[in-house]
């Protein structure tokens, strides 16, 4: 009896094994119309089904198997048809199968690994790694694509996170299973979603299972945090990892830092004559800060950034002696060299491992993991430690910028890793102070002379303009800063101590914005203080990131031709939000026979919480509106 009752079950299994394609074709997940409306609304793509199996046997032996089915609803979701996987010496790709189904769930095409293309990656001079890619093409939507593939890891410093969804993508069902040998030790942390795994024990493996069902899509938001942090995911890290045969411990920042420290060990020795050289170089310096400044500027002039990341060299720097010989290096190599040079003159510093990007979030202190992609240098001081970006030949000394400010760096010390905050961004680091005098003739033609005093972001911009060819200078002025198209112009640097100063002299055919009969309409300044609207504020879920906080101050003086009088002058305007401030004033100076306008625009912080974004957007819209006011003059 028992036997016969079991027979149908066996039969079903056999059928499934023998006719997998047939069975699949019957499954609703391949049929476009069967997408539930809840996850379809505002979606370009629906993840119909996903099963990811992540197995860690040992720190140097792990696999991930993916099985995914997506229905692409329209052209906007086209990028889902692009299969794209990174491989390297420690990640290899096997067993790829890509299938395409039409709207009715009928298989249209099928591709294997041999159909895929492989291409070297890396923006640097030379980096390890390849992408293997394949783009399925379709002429109609909806279309369903199925991916089955496997990645083999012999290094586990970086392991895959569970990426649950992304913008315009709804999820019907998804499951991620991590089967991790106890010796490796998995840690995890959910982001943008409240999701807990089901945990069981199977022999020496701990098994974690996350499941997600019916998740509606998120809207794409401009100016948000770096892409990986925007949507629901579960981040993963192993307590014990391996990379290129080097084993390490990531159970704490201290231990992870100790591992990195071991890679850097003994690489910060300079030849004796170079040590002497640096001591001579800083002989007149009064304190550590000055020594550091002199060496930093020497480094900027004589060394250059080149990215060479091969094998463990992606984590371990070239020695200071090698860098000395070549005069080039990547972020590790140059920071390590700077450290060695400082060491030679008796200044102690620490390498600081960090994640870079103006819209990158700080790492989570309670969750040690390798989210780092950059190295800078920290010189500890009793107050206000000195931080150095060693890859830039244009940065000001001890100014990091939003690229690495406002977050944690892991300092590599004798006692392992220590997580410390980097400085907060300060609007005073990015200053633009302009003063313009315009002499206008009767016919509206005129000449202007502007002085720019700049720091930080604006200084780099001015330096770039200085170096550019004349037509490129002109394009930056007209397209970038929104100046009127000049007939002639000169852009020059003023060589003097203190703040970086440049001048712009222009001859312009028509100074006024426009005229109406005898009325002449003048713009408060010749460029645009705030040229564009910020993205919409409705339903904002994510914080908004400006590139940097700043202070801009402008004084524009119009010397009017004889016989002209002021008809309308904009009233003084002051605007304020928690994060910003604006004030503009216009008046007529009888003595100079000049119209004078001053304005200050300050953005205090570059990251605006989502809840405050509407207020800040309104502020900038109002600024733009006020800046569109014109001064009206007329001939008496």
Partner 1 sequence: MRKLPPLPFLLLFSIMTFAQKNKDSNIPAFGNVIKEELDMKECDFDKKAEAVVLFEKGELSCVIAGNGVSLELERHVRIKILKDEGRSASDIHLPYYNWGGVQSIDDLVAQTYNLDPSGKVVITKVDKKSIFEKKLNKRITEKVFTFPEVKAGSIIEYKYVLAGAALVDWYFQRNIPVKYSQFAIDFPSEIEIHASPKCSREYDKKISETSTRTTQFFAMKDVPALRDEPYILNEDDYMERVETKPVAFNINGRRESMVVYWPKVIKALIEDEDFGIQLKKEVPRTADLDAELKIITDPYLRMKTIYNYVKKNMEWNGYEGIWAFDGIKAAWKDKKGTAGEINLILVNLLKDAGLKTKPILVSTHDNGLVNTTDAGVYGDYGYNQFNKVLAWVEINDRVYVLDATSKETPPHLIPRDVILTEGLVIDKVETFDWGWKTLWDDQAGYKNLILINGEIDENNKLTGEVSINSYDYARLDRISEARKDKKNFTEKYFSSPNPGITVDSLVFENLDSDSMPLVQRVYFNHDLSASGEYKYFTTNLFTGLEKNPFVADTRYTDVFFGVNQVYNIVSNFSIPDGYVFEELPKNIKMIMPDTSISISRVSQANETRLAIRILLEFRKPFYSIGEYPEFKEFYKKLQDILNEQYVIRKKP
C-beta of 470: minimal distance to partner 1 in Å? Answer: 7
Q: Nearest Cα to 208, choosing from 102, 355, 325, 55?
A: 55
Q: Which of 418, 505, 568, 614 is in the footprint of partner 1 by CB under 8 A? A: 568
Nearer to partner 1, 265 or 301 (CB): 301
Q: Specify the 3-state DSSP secondary structure of 558.
A: strand
Judged by CB under 8 A, does residue 624 bind partner 1?
yes
Nearest to 107 by CA among 80, 69, 66, 73: 69
Q: Can the peptide bond before residue 567 be classed as cis, meaning omega within 30 degrees of 0?
A: no
Please identify, using beta-carbon distances, which residue of 393 and 415 lies nearer to partner 1: 393
> Is residue 280 a contact point for partner 1 (CB under 8 A)?
no
List Cβ neighbours of 522 (8 Å cut-off, separation of 6 or more).
511, 512, 513, 558, 595, 630, 631, 632, 633
- Give the H/E segment covering residue 432: strand 431-440
CB of residue 338 to partner 1, shortest distance in Å: 17
Name the burial class of residue 215, with classes exposed (0-12), middle (13-18) and buried (19+) by CB atoms within 10 angstroms of its CB: buried
Our finding on whether 194 is near partner 1 (CB under 8 A) is: no
Which stretch, 59-67, 113-121, 430-438, 537-545, contacts partner 1 (CB under 8 A)? 113-121
Sole binder of partner 1 in the list 11, 15, 126, 441 (CB under 8 A): 126
273 makes contact with partner 1 (CB under 8 A): no
b/e sequence 65-87, b meaning 16+ C-beta within 10 Å: bbbbbbbbbeeebbebbebebeb
Residue with tokens 């579960």: 234
Q: Which stretch binds partner 1 (CB under 8 A): 180-188, 195-203, 349-357, 507-515?
A: 507-515
CA separation, residue 277 to residues 272, 273, 283, 289 (Å): 9, 6, 10, 18
Q: Cα 549 to chain center, whole Å? A: 16
For partner 1, which is the closer residue by CB, 109 or 503? 109
Contacts of 226 (CB under 8 A, 6+ apart): 357, 359, 360, 361
125 contacts partner 1 (rule: CB under 8 A): yes
- Could you say whether residue 393 binds partner 1 (CB under 8 A)? yes
* 481 makes contact with partner 1 (CB under 8 A): no
Phi, psi of 547 (to 5 degrees): -70, -40
| The one among 15, 27, 82, 310 contacting partner 1 by CB under 8 A | 310
CB of 519 to partner 1, least distance (A): 6
539 lies in the site for partner 1, by CB under 8 A: no
Contact call for residue 532 and partner 1 (CB under 8 A): yes
Per-residue binding letters, 45-74, with partner 1 (x by CB under 8 A) = -----------------------------x
Burial of 143 (C-beta count, 10 Å sphere; 0-12/13-18/19+): buried
| DSSP state string for 201-261 | EETTEEEEEEEEEEEPPBPP-TT-S-GGGSS-EEEEEESEEEETTEEEE-SSHHHHHHHHH
**Total residues binding partner 1 (CB under 8 A):** 56
Among residues 36, 309, 600, 629, the one that binds partner 1 under rule CB under 8 A: 629
Residue 531 engages partner 1 in binding (rule: CB under 8 A): yes
Instruction: Decide: is 390 part of the binding site for partner 1 (CB under 8 A).
Output: no
Q: In angstroms, what is the minimal distance from the CB of 570 to partner 1?
A: 6
Q: Is 206 or 520 the residue whose CB approaches partner 1 more closely?
A: 520
Kindly state whether residue 283 participates in binding partner 1, applying the rule CB under 8 A: no
With contact defined as beta carbons under 8 Å apart, do 402 and 456 qualify? no
Identity of the residue, 428 or 628, whose beta carbon is nearer to partner 1 in the bound complex: 628
Nearer to partner 1, 24 or 630 (CB): 630
Stretch touching partner 1 by CB under 8 A, among 3-11, 342-350, 362-370, 474-482 = 474-482
**Per rule CB under 8 A, is residue 115 in the interface with partner 1?**
no
What is the C-alpha to C-alpha distance for residues 446 and 464, in angstroms, rounded to an integer?
27
Report the interface residues with partner 1, using CB under 8 A: 74-76, 117-120, 125-126, 137-139, 301-302, 304, 306, 308, 310, 325-328, 393, 467-472, 474-475, 478-479, 485, 510, 513-514, 516-519, 521, 531-533, 567-570, 624-625, 628-632
């Amino acid at each position: 009896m028992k036997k016969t009752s079991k027979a149908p079950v066996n039969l079903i299994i056999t059928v499934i094994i023998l006719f997998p394609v047939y069975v699949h074709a019957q499954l609703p997940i391949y049929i476009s119309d069967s997408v539930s409306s809840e996850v379809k609304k505002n979606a370009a793509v629906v993840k119909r089904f996903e099963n990811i199996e992540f197995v860690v046997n040992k720190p140097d032996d792990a696999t991930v198997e993916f099985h995914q089915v997506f229905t692409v609803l329209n052209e906007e979701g086209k990028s889902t048809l692009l299969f794209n996987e990174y491989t390297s010496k420690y990640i290899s790709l096997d067993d790829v199968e890509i299938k395409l189904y039409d709207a009715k769930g009928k298989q249209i095409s099928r591709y294997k690994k041999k159909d895929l293309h492989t291409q070297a990656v890396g923006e640097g001079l030379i980096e390890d790694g390849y992408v293997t890619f394949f783009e399925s093409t379709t002429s109609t939507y909806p279309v369903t694509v199925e991916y089955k593939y496997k990645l083999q890891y012999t290094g586990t410093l970086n392991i895959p996170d569970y990426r649950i969804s992304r913008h315009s993508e709804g999820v019907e069902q998804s499951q991620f299973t991590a089967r991790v040998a106890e010796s490796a030790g998995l840690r995890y942390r959910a982001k943008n979603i409240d999701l807990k795994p089901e945990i069981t024990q199977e022999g020496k493996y701990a098994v974690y299972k996350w499941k997600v069902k019916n998740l509606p899509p998120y809207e794409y938001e401009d100016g948000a945090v770096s892409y990986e942090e925007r949507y629901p995911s579960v981040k993963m890290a192993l307590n014990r990892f391996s990379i290129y045969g080097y084993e390490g411990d990531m159970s704490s920042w201290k231990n992870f830092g100790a591992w990195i420290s071991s890679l850097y060990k003994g690489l910060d020795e300079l030849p004796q004559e170079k040590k002497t050289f640096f001591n001579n170089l800083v002989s007149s310096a009064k304190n550590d800060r000055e020594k550091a400044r002199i060496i930093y500027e020497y480094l900027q002039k004589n060394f250059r950034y080149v990215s060479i990341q091969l094998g463990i060299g992606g984590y371990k720097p070239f020695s200071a002696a090698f860098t000395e010989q070549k005069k080039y290096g990547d972020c590790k190599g140059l920071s390590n060299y700077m450290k060695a040079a400082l060491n030679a003159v008796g200044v102690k510093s620490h390498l600081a491992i960090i994640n870079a990007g103006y819209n990158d979030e700080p790492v989570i202190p309670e969750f040690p993991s390798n989210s780092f992609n950059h190295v800078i240098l920290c010189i500890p001081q009793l107050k206000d430690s000195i931080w150095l970006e060693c890859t830039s030949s244009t940065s000001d000394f001890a100014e990091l910028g939003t690229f690495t400010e406002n977050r944690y760096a892991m300092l590599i010390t004798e006692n392992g890793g220590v997580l410390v905050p980097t400085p907060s961004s300060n609007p005073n680091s990015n200053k633009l102070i302009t003063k313009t005098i315009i002499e206008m003739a009767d016919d509206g033609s005129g000449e202007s002379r502007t002085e720019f005093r700049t720091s930080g972001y604006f200084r780099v911009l001015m330096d770039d303009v200085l170096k550019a060819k004349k037509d490129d200078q002109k394009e930056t002025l007209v397209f970038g800063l929104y100046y009127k198209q000049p007939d002639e112009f000169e852009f020059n640097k003023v060589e003097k101590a203190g703040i970086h100063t440049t001048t712009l002299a222009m001859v312009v055919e028509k100074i006024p914005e426009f005229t109406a009969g005898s009325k002449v309409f003048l713009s408060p300044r010749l460029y645009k203080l705030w040229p564009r609207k910020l993205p919409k504020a409705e339903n904002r879920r994510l914080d908004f990131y400006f590139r940097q906080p700043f202070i801009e101050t402008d004084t524009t003086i119009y010397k009017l031709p004889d016989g002209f009088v002021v008809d309308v002058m904009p009233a003084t305007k002051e605007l304020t939000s928690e994060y910003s401030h604006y004030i503009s004033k216009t008046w007529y100076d009888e003595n100079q026979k000049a119209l004078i306008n001053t304005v200050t625009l300050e953005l205090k912080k570059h990251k605006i919480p989502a809840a405050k974004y509407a207020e800040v957007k309104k502020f900038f819209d109002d600024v733009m509106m006020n800046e569109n006011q014109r001064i009206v003059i007329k001939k008496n």
